[in-house]
Chain A
Amino acid sequence: MISEVLRTKREGITALPRQDKPVPSVSIPQNIAVKCQRCKEILYERDWCRNLKVCRYCDYHFKLTAHERIELLVDQSSFVEVDADIVSADPLHFVSQSQVYAEKLEQERRKVHLNEAVVTGYATVEGKPLSLAVMDFRFMGGSMGAAAGEKITRAIELGIERRIPVLISSASGGARMQEGIFSLMQMAKTSAALARLGEAGIPYYSLLTDPTAGGVTASFAMLGDVIFAEPGSLVCFAGPRVIEQFMHVSLPKDTVTAEFIFRHGLIDAVVHRRELRSFLIRLMHLYYPVATLIPVNKQ
């Protein structure tokens, strides 16, 4: 039973009580306006939110928080967060000229109200269960350290254990330098978990959002059975600035984007934000073994 799948505890998972209403986005007075970063048009807050934070003039996709992303994708009130309390152990006791890493972590936690750069848990999509890991760029540029790597790996292992598909939404500048080699190894750790998921014949859907870069792109982000990206997202390995420095060239703006890599055969689809949920529903329908479908009321 689906409800059984979702409620079963496993070691390390502490299920939070179900919420009756969706996690509210930050409430802002209705007459506030936002300026589009790309076309510079003024967008009124209420319309902008209704339009899923996409500019109605030029289609620029503003960044979403992890919770906004989750709310967009899954059945209302179905998301249960897990492992929210996993945090960095600052293994190198890293200090640079501009920051003390441990202090920076504390600051980010207070500022963003998240403990790390990824939110993990499980939910349903049209009643079918899904394990999710959704990154949030606001937390240290979405950089992946050991804590984020651990959470993502556990989300994949939940898929293996419960035989449910996994969705990872990437939003990251890459590996977190302050954790040195431990961050680098998260690339291998998450990829190894996906290899086991793959051997078990369970689907992994990878959603790329703006930006997806470095060690995240070069590991789990590019390993999806189906990889889909939001329009205009920066998706790269080294990125435009490094390319320019290394090759002594000047690249036109918006060179290494989702559309660029789609043209080069590297991803399956570029999907507008308003179509993401229905795209995900199609994936879950096509790749979900029909024999285990449990009838649910259509939304």
Chain B
Amino acid sequence: MDSREMYTELTPWQTLQIARHQDRPHAGDYISRICDNFLELHGDRAFKDDLAILAGPASFRDMTVMFVCHQKGRGSKERQEHNFGMPHPEGYRKAARLMKQAEKFGLPLVCLIDTPGAFPGLEDEERGQSEAIASNLYLMSRLRVPIVAVVIGEGGSGGALALSVADRLLMLEHSVYTVAAPEAAASILWRDSAFAPQAAEAMRISARELIETRIIDEIIAEPPGGAHLNYAATACNLQDALYRHITELKQLSLEELLMKRYQKFRTFGPFTHKSLSAIF
């Protein structure tokens, strides 16, 4: 099997390792390659500036878009500063502030998702981590601009979802989206976090499996071996996909846009009726 084939046959656990790779490009790496004139904005206007969220407007081809992204750091100092890409409530509130600004100025919203999850500290409970996430879900569902979300690395549960309620949900080829980290799921359902690879498999966390659920709309190809081996090529693919989706969405009337977004999320999650489940 040649190496290209090998990379299309990765297990979810192997995909997770690439998604978490220390050299994998982060949101900032893509923004600097696909845009000009990115203006990073700061703060939630209430308490603090959370660097786990990177946000601001930029010139993207022939338009201005608003980026609201997770940002992990590189190297131990930066990782601390960005809190490993794990936002506090003030991060989600910064995100909300800039999403509303995008709506105010009619700027398409682009969210690059890459987080192990929302930070689970006691202070986060005090400052309303759950309320901050819930508010973003509520806000995004009715936001009056096109929204494209791309999982570029780890889509860690509710902390990722808070930036993902979008018209189009895309994933880079070797990214993952989880309801719970496989280690956590394994310690609960397998009674031992060593079963994380089995948990990753059972929960179908990789892009390749999720495309079949129709929850995600497209997989964006990475160069053989993963994005960390060729930032430029990956950025190019990302740029093309973003432009294509935003352009399509801009054709819709606002009413159609909101209705389709609602319907998209409305239909997520297969269920059945008890009488039928006995037969099938």
Neighbour of B271 across the interface among A99, A146, A184, A218, CB < 8 A: A146
The chain B residues found within 8 Å of chain A, CB to CB, are 118, 120-122, 124-131, 133-135, 137-139, 141-142, 157-158, 161-162, 164-165, 177-180, 185, 188-191, 195, 198-199, 202-205, 210, 213, 215, 261-262, 265-266, 268-275, 277
Given contacts A85-B273, A247-B121, are A191 and B213 in contact (CB under 8 A)? no
Given contacts A177-B179, A181-B215, A246-B120, are A237 and B125 in contact (CB under 8 A)? yes
Q: In the complex, what residues of B have CB within 8 A of residue A147's CB?
A: 269, 271
Does A5 lie at the interface of the complex (its beta carbon under 8 Å from any beta carbon of B)?
no
Does A62 lie at the interface of the complex (its beta carbon under 8 Å from any beta carbon of B)?
no
Q: Do A98 and B158 touch across chains, with their CB atoms under 8 A apart?
A: no
Interface residue tally on A, bucketed by range: 35 or more
Among A188, A191, A255: residue with most chain B CB under 10 A: A188
Q: Do A215 and B157 touch across chains, with their CB atoms under 8 A apart?
A: yes
C-alpha spacing A9/B221, complex, angstroms: 48
Q: In the complex, what residues of B have CB within 8 A of residue A261's CB?
A: 125, 128
Q: In the complex, what residues of A have CB within 8 A of residue B177's CB?
A: 181, 184
Q: Do A184 and B161 touch across chains, with their CB atoms under 8 A apart?
A: yes
Q: Do A219 and B213 touch across chains, with their CB atoms under 8 A apart?
A: no
Q: In the complex, what residues of B have CB within 8 A of residue A95's CB?
A: 202
Does A226 lie at the interface of the complex (its beta carbon under 8 Å from any beta carbon of B)?
no
Q: Do A237 and B118 touch across chains, with their CB atoms under 8 A apart?
A: yes
Closest partner residue, chain A, to B199 (CB atom): A96
Given contacts A183-B269, A195-B142, A238-B118, 11 further A-B contacts (CB under 8 A): A94-B202, A147-B271, A177-B179, A177-B185, A181-B204, A182-B270, A187-B158, A188-B137, A189-B266, A192-B265, A215-B179
Does A54 lie at the interface of the complex (its beta carbon under 8 Å from any beta carbon of B)?
no
Closest 4 CB pairs of A and B: A146-B269, A238-B120, A192-B141, A191-B137
Q: Which of A160-204 contact B (CB under 8 A)?
A: 175, 177-189, 191-196, 198-199
C-alpha spacing A244/B57, complex, angstroms: 38
Given contacts A89-B270, A189-B266, A192-B137, are A96 and B131 in contact (CB under 8 A)? no
Q: Do B265 and A189 touch across chains, with their CB atoms under 8 A apart?
A: yes
Tell me the dominant secondary structure on chain B's binding face. Answer: helix
Q: Do B158 and A86 touch across chains, with their CB atoms under 8 A apart?
A: no
Q: In the complex, what residues of A have CB within 8 A of residue B215's CB?
A: 181-182, 185
Q: In the complex, what residues of A have CB within 8 A of residue B265's CB?
A: 185, 188-189, 192
Contact mask for chain A residues 257-276; partner B; CB cutoff 8 A; 1 contact, 0 none: 00011001110000000000
Q: In the complex, what residues of A have CB within 8 A of residue B142's CB?
A: 192, 195-196, 199
Given contacts A177-B203, A180-B205, A219-B134, are A264 and B266 in contact (CB under 8 A)? no
Does A220 lie at the interface of the complex (its beta carbon under 8 Å from any beta carbon of B)?
yes
Closest partner residue, chain A, to B192 (CB atom): A97
C-alpha spacing A255/B205, complex, angstroms: 33
Neighbour of B165 across the interface among A97, A188, A215, A222, CB < 8 A: A188
Q: Do B161 and A187 touch across chains, with their CB atoms under 8 A apart?
A: yes
Q: In the complex, what residues of B have CB within 8 A of residue A266's CB?
A: 128, 131
Neighbour of B195 across the interface among A97, A150, A185, A265, CB < 8 A: A97
C-alpha spacing A85/B273, complex, angstroms: 5
Q: In the complex, what residues of B have CB within 8 A of residue A251's CB?
A: 122
Q: Do A218 and B133 touch across chains, with their CB atoms under 8 A apart?
A: yes
C-alpha spacing A1/B229, complex, angstroms: 67
Q: In the complex, what residues of B have CB within 8 A of residue A180's CB?
A: 178-179, 203-205
Q: In the complex, what residues of A have CB within 8 A of residue B125's CB?
A: 236-238, 243, 256, 260-261, 264
Q: In the complex, what residues of B have CB within 8 A of residue A256's CB?
A: 122, 125
Q: Do A85 and B275 touch across chains, with their CB atoms under 8 A apart?
A: yes
Closest partner residue, chain A, to B86 (CB atom): A246
Neighbour of B161 across the interface among A88, A188, A236, A255, CB < 8 A: A188
Q: Do A218 and B158 touch across chains, with their CB atoms under 8 A apart?
A: yes
C-alpha spacing A237/B228, complex, angstroms: 33
Q: Do B122 and A189 touch across chains, with their CB atoms under 8 A apart?
A: no
